[in-house]
């Protein structure tokens, strides 16, 4: 299934292939402040539809995930990184169209303790 998403103002748009019924909710200082609900997919399943020049990048801690945000509205719809040698996209499902957030199972991750 192909899903469309964007930042708040629409300057950053993307498509992601796949289906999910569970998301990760991390309690690290960054994710908890932003309210991320993350869905991790192989990078090949993620496609940015707008120019990369619309994006800013933020990294912290171990600098493993490159958190991407819109330079216009500041919304952070996804991050890019690698896990076990595989390029991944961490998609903020709050930025995907027509997702029933209340129906999603949340897997908690203790990022604060890392």
pLDDT in tens, 34-89: 999 999 999 999 999 999 999 999 988 878 889 999 999 999 999 999 988 899 99
How far apart are the C-alpha atoms of 75 and 69, rounded to whole Å?
5
Closest by Cα among 17, 92, 78 to 50: 78
pLDDT at 83: 82
How far apart are the C-alpha atoms of 4 and 95, rounded to whole Å?
9
Structural domains in the chain? 2-113 (2.170.150.70)
Closest by Cα among 56, 82, 57, 87 to 71: 56
Could you give the percent of the chain with pLDDT greater than 70?
100
- pLDDT-based confidence at residue 114 (cuts at 50, 70, 90): confident
pLDDT at 5: 98
CB 99 within 8 A of CB 105: no
């Amino acid at each position: 299934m192909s899903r469309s998403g964007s930042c708040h103002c629409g300057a950053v748009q993307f498509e992601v292939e796949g289906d999910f019924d569970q998301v990760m909710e991390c309690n690290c200082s960054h994710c908890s402040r932003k309210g991320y609900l993350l869905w991790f997919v192989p990078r090949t399943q993620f496609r940015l539809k707008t120019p990369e020049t619309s994006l800013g990048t933020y990294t912290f801690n171990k600098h493993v995930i490159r958190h991407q945000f819109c330079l216009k509205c500041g919304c952070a719809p996804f991050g890019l990184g690698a896990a076990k040698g595989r390029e991944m996209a961490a998609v903020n499902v709050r930025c995907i169209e027509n997702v029933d957030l209340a129906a999603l199972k949340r897997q908690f991750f203790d990022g604060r303790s890392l």
